[in-house]
Amino acid sequence: MKISRDIKEQILAEKDRLSINQISKKYNLPRIEIKNIIKASSKKNPKWFFAVLILLPIIFLIGIEILLKIIDYGYNLDQWVDAGQEKYIINPNIGRRYFTSGDFNPNTVEDVFDQHKKTNAFRVFVLGGSSAEGYPYNPLGSFSRYIRRRLELVYPNSTIEIVNISMTAVNSYTVLDLLPGVLDQKPDLILIYAGHNEYYGALGVGSVQSYGSSRTLIKVMLYLNSFKITQLVRNSINWIAALFGSENNGTSGTLMSRMAKDKYILLNSEVYNAGLHQFKQNFTDILHLTKETGVPVILGRLVSNLKDQRPFISVNTPGYKTADQVYEEAENELKNNNFTNADSLFRLAKDLDALRFRAPEKMNKIIDNLGIEFQVATIPIDSIFELESSDGIVGDNLIVDHLHPNVQGYQLIGKAFYDCMNKQGYLPKTENAKIKFSEQDSLTRANFMFTKLDSVMGNDFVKLLKIDWPYVKKRVAISEFKPKDFLNLFKPNNAIDSIAMYRIENRISWIDAHFMAATFYLKKDNIKEYLKYINVMIYQYPGLRNLDTILKYFYERNKLDLADYTPKRNGLLALYIGNFNNAIKYLDEANKSKPNDPLVLYNLALAYSKKKDFDQALILINKCLTVNPNYTEANKLKQQIVNQLKIN
């Protein structure tokens, strides 16, 4: 009997609802025919067919991903990359995981650490945003560099690795995303200072770099961003959009002026609360991970400029006066020496500021509560800053803009973390401290690796920040600045000012700026300052190791004419690094070519005195004083030499 196709489809549609007997009666067909129809349909689509149907697209995507890796398409977004000499460094392109549109890629302070941790190593990771990175005085001015320097001085026989991977304009999503890679590197301790970027930082609820407020969606996107095929799809979409879109002018202005999408975020609004929820949940996940691995953590409460930073955007907030009104009330209370009331009002004015570049007070409460819940140490950095402020209210005395500390402020934060490390028993177990605890802070500040150039560059960065929105109403197209615009803004008075301006203009790198400063001092025969800049560069880039290596490095880059290294300068260099034999060799050569140079005679006498050849030292210092009787340092040296001769 021939059964029509329509009848067969009806039978198959009802086979799961009706029994074979019921179908047989309904269509007046033999039971054997019904069974054959059902059996034939099952043979058409075996189980493996559906498995292949599902796997084929996956295999196709994997194949494309492998091909893209083979041809090295796009950016490598692995967390760690080889820095040479068996060391790791955070991937310079890691920021592209979070900033997927535009050309911005945040830098780090470029700390390196051993790929294979040494037995005498003490390894600490620092995570957070621009305040943790040390802006605007990074890389040398960050609080992590205070901690590193203090540990190096106190534990000279240990391998100190303070690895700061903080970045500008990132928030708790970045900290959470980077944490598993940090835990893989066996840290002894993790320090976190983050929260100011929670709203406008990458992936924040009010940021231009956002996928919305769903944490699940954001985590999925962060996972997908690690694949090259995601870059291919995104680049293709951007390319197509560019064909039909207008030219993008979004790159003008400072980063701060470009990051805020939902500029108005009112106190207690839905977006405001979403930001707090985002922060709390991400840090809950962070502390769960660290607790599972047994790695200790210290959290820092957040500090910002209360007294000297007016609210950026003052609007009507239900149930409150405007931010400007509250701020003015705070100023009046301050004038009347009502410091407690003034402090409370300044904090409220900050919280009413609808532009959320400063973390609200509730964020510090979240940090405290999480510290209690997970039994991790928290540092009251805001209270520490208050104690260092004359009226107990933080302002321009320690903050250079709305929230970034000055160098003194960063050292305060570093000291606060270090004191907590000591209190919690987190300091190195590799050796006993070589310096009394009470003497460590002053010694660290006296030996802090920081230059005048770093200070000027940092101050200039702040000056550039404050000529743009939100400090002024109109955005500035800094990308269109001409040299005369920078000259008018910075008004350089000396060589260091000019070098700093070149750096701000992005005409030279940090290391090139420092080398220009070193060369300037070398040509003035100010060897002490010259070596200070050289040593700072070696400190920042340990791979350069020593003076000979760094000089060779710069020769190869054609940054320095070998003629600059005369016998006189070579002798002065040798003297300052303690190589007295070479100092005498080169300075003697210089003295023969120019016998009456008082600087050469003075330093040659000094070199002989260091060698304890006081007779020859006295002959040379007398010659020096014959040429220049008023040479103060020479007269002091002669007295020291005469005293030594009397003793001997």
Q: Provide the angle, in degrees to the nearest 10, between the axes of the packed helices 339-352 and 361-374.
A: 90
The domain spanning residue 284 has which CATH number? 3.40.50.1110
Query: Strands 159-164 and 189-193, how do they pair?
Result: unpaired
The domain spanning residue 511 has which CATH number? 1.25.40.10
Average pLDDT over residues 391-407: 97
Domain assignment present for residue 19? The answer is yes
Residues 581 and 481 in one domain: yes
What pLDDT does residue 1 have?
A: 60
What pLDDT does residue 262 have?
A: 63
Average pLDDT over residues 66-84: 89
Name which of 453-457, 524-528, 624-628 the model is least confident about: 524-528
Residues 139 and 194 in one domain: yes
Average pLDDT over residues 511-538: 86
φ, ψ (nearest 5 deg) of residue 75: -105, 145
Q: How many CB atoms lie within 10 A of CB 546?
A: 10
Sequence-distant (6+) residues with CB within 8 A of 48 are none
What pLDDT does residue 561 have?
A: 55
Torsion of CA 473, 477, 481, 485, to 10 degrees: -10
Give yes or no for residue 613 having a pLDDT over 90: yes
Q: By C-alpha distance, which of 117, 175, 172, 126 is closest to 418?
A: 126
Name which of 501-510, 551-560, 625-634 the model is least confident about: 551-560
Structural domain count of the chain: 3
Q: How confident is the model at residue 499 (pLDDT cuts 50, 70, 90)?
A: very high
Distance CA 275, CA 266 (A): 12
Distance CA 214, CA 278 (A): 9
Residues 553 and 583 in one domain: yes
Q: By C-alpha distance, which of 522, 575, 582 is closest to 550?
A: 522
Residues 425 and 569 in one domain: no
**Among 18-32, 52-66, 484-498, 617-631, the range of highest mean pLDDT:** 617-631
Residues 513 and 599 in one domain: yes
What pLDDT does residue 250 have?
A: 46
Give yes or no for residue 558 having a pLDDT over 50: no
Last residue of a domain, one of 435, 462, 480: 435
Residues 487 and 606 in one domain: yes
DSSP string of 118-155, one letter each residue: -TTEEEEEEEESHHHHTTTSTTTTSHHHHHHHHHHHH-
* Higher-confidence position of 444 and 538: 444
* 88-126 per-position pLDDT tens digit: 999 999 999 998 876 788 889 999 999 999 999 999 999
Q: Which domain holds residue 26?
A: 5-44
Average pLDDT over residues 427-443: 96
Sequence-distant (6+) residues with CB within 8 A of 474 are none
Distance CA 79, CA 94 (A): 6
The model's pTM: 0.81
Environment class of 223 (CB within 10 Å of its CB; exposed 0-12, middle 13-18, buried 19+)? exposed
Environment class of 59 (CB within 10 Å of its CB; exposed 0-12, middle 13-18, buried 19+)? exposed
Per-residue b or e along 73-85, where b marks 16 or more CB atoms closer than 10 Å to that residue's CB = ebbebebbeebee
Amino acid identity for residue 195 in this structure: G
Name which of 71-85, 108-122, 348-362 the model is least confident about: 71-85
Residues 304 and 413 in one domain: yes
What pLDDT does residue 378 have?
A: 98
Residues 429 and 289 in one domain: yes
Query: Strands 377-379 and 297-300, how do they pair?
Result: parallel
Q: By C-alpha distance, which of 356, 358, 332, 357 is closest to 345?
A: 332
Give yes or no for residue 248 having a pLDDT over 70: no
Give the C-alpha distances (Å, rounded to integers) separating 60 from 55, 56, 277, 298, 367: 8, 6, 39, 45, 45
Give the C-alpha distances (Å, rounded to integers) separating 340 from 280, 391, 394, 610: 29, 9, 13, 59
Distance CA 321, CA 314 (A): 10
What pLDDT does residue 161 have?
A: 98
Q: How confident is the model at residue 429 (pLDDT cuts 50, 70, 90)?
A: very high
* Higher-confidence position of 117 and 565: 117
Average pLDDT over residues 272-299: 97
Give yes or no for residue 347 having a pLDDT over 80: yes
Give yes or no for residue 165 having a pLDDT over 90: yes
Per-residue b or e along 433-456, where b marks 16 or more CB atoms closer than 10 Å to that residue's CB = eeeeeeebbeebbeebbbbebbbb
What pLDDT does residue 629 have?
A: 93
Residues 474 and 581 in one domain: yes
Name which of 52-66, 284-298, 339-353, 546-560 the model is least confident about: 546-560
CB 224 within 8 A of CB 230: yes
Helix, coil or strand: residue 162: strand
Distance CA 581, CA 607 (A): 8
What pLDDT does residue 323 have?
A: 97
**Stretch (H or E) spanning 445:** helix 437-446
What pLDDT does residue 580 have?
A: 92
Name which of 91-105, 119-133, 154-168, 229-243 the model is least confident about: 229-243
Domain assignment present for residue 313? The answer is no
Domain assignment present for residue 238? The answer is yes
Residues 281 and 387 in one domain: yes
What pLDDT does residue 160 have?
A: 97
What pLDDT does residue 94 have?
A: 94
What pLDDT does residue 379 have?
A: 98
| Token digits of residue 378 | 């928290």
What pLDDT does residue 73 have?
A: 86
Q: By C-alpha distance, which of 132, 34, 185, 105 is closest to 379?
A: 132
Q: How confident is the model at residue 44 (pLDDT cuts 50, 70, 90)?
A: low
Distance CA 25, CA 27 (A): 6
| Token digits of residue 168 | 């500008």
Domain assignment present for residue 58? The answer is no
Give the C-alpha distances (Å, rounded to integers) separating 59 from 54, 62, 227, 508, 515: 9, 5, 15, 47, 52
Domain assignment present for residue 296? The answer is yes
Last residue of a domain, one of 435, 466, 493: 435
Q: How confident is the model at residue 403 (pLDDT cuts 50, 70, 90)?
A: very high
What pLDDT does residue 249 have?
A: 45
Average pLDDT over residues 607-627: 95
* 457-475 per-position pLDDT tens digit: 999 999 999 988 889 887 7
**Stretch (H or E) spanning 63:** helix 47-70
DSSP character for 247? P
Last residue of a domain, one of 403, 435, 467: 435
What pLDDT does residue 257 have?
A: 62
Distance CA 428, CA 162 (A): 12
CB 554 within 8 A of CB 584: no
Average pLDDT over residues 312-316: 94
Residues 491 and 423 in one domain: no
What pLDDT does residue 259 have?
A: 67
What pLDDT does residue 562 have?
A: 53
Domain assignment present for residue 55? The answer is no
Helix, coil or strand: residue 382: helix
| Token digits of residue 95 | 């920021």
Give yes or no for residue 221 having a pLDDT over 50: yes
Residues 392 and 421 in one domain: yes
- For tokens 């000056």, the residue is 463
Q: How confident is the model at residue 230 (pLDDT cuts 50, 70, 90)?
A: confident
Distance CA 346, CA 303 (A): 13
Domain assignment present for residue 188? The answer is yes
CB 101 within 8 A of CB 238: yes
Q: How confident is the model at residue 479 (pLDDT cuts 50, 70, 90)?
A: low
Give yes or no for residue 547 having a pLDDT over 90: no
Q: How confident is the model at residue 576 (pLDDT cuts 50, 70, 90)?
A: confident
Tell me the CB-side half-sphere exposure of residue 169, using CA atoms within 13 A.
24
What pLDDT does residue 635 have?
A: 94
Q: How many CB atoms lie within 10 A of CB 156?
A: 11
Domain assignment present for residue 327? The answer is no
DSSP string of 417-433, one letter each residue: HHHHHHHHT-S-SSS--
What pLDDT does residue 531 have?
A: 81
DSSP string of 273-341, one letter each residue: HHHHHHHHHHHHHHHHHHHHHT--EEEE------SS---S-----TTS--HHHHHHHHHHHHHTT-HHH
DSSP character for 511? H
Give yes or no for residue 279 having a pLDDT over 80: yes
